[in-house]
Amino acid sequence: MASTEQLTIELPAELAGLVAALRNSVRSGAFASESEAVETLLRTWFGPEGTEEPDIETLRAIVAEGIADANAGRFVEAHEMFEELRVRYGAAIAKRPDD
């Protein structure tokens, strides 16, 4: 079993509210606990080798592409995207080896 460490963090109220919203994902069964949900978010963000922040021009290009797609009508409704994310993260959790 992998070792764990308990952390106490301070967040701005709006981010704390988002973390509290993870409880809905726990209640729905997408995650076994809030800790597991946060762990999945961090592993997704950093990946196995960590992540490098893209430069500002790369970010601008990504945003411009998104705006162009939206202007051209290429987008999905939020509830559809959230469902896709639930399925995707649920599959990622199912593939995870037991710690």
pTM score of the predicted model: 0.43
Q: Give pLDDT, residue 50.
A: 57
Can you give the pLDDT of all 99 residues of the chain as single tens digits? 468 888 888 888 888 888 777 888 888 888 888 888 888 888 887 776 655 677 889 889 999 999 999 999 988 888 888 888 888 888 877 777 665
Cα distance between residue 26 and residue 23, in whole Å? 5
For residue 1, being part of any structural domain is answered with: no
Q: Give pLDDT, residue 46.
A: 76
For residue 8, being part of any structural domain is answered with: no
For residue 2, being part of any structural domain is answered with: no
Residue 74's domain comprises 13-95
Cα distance between residue 97 and residue 87, in whole Å? 18
For residue 90, being part of any structural domain is answered with: yes
Q: How many separate domains does the chain show?
A: 1
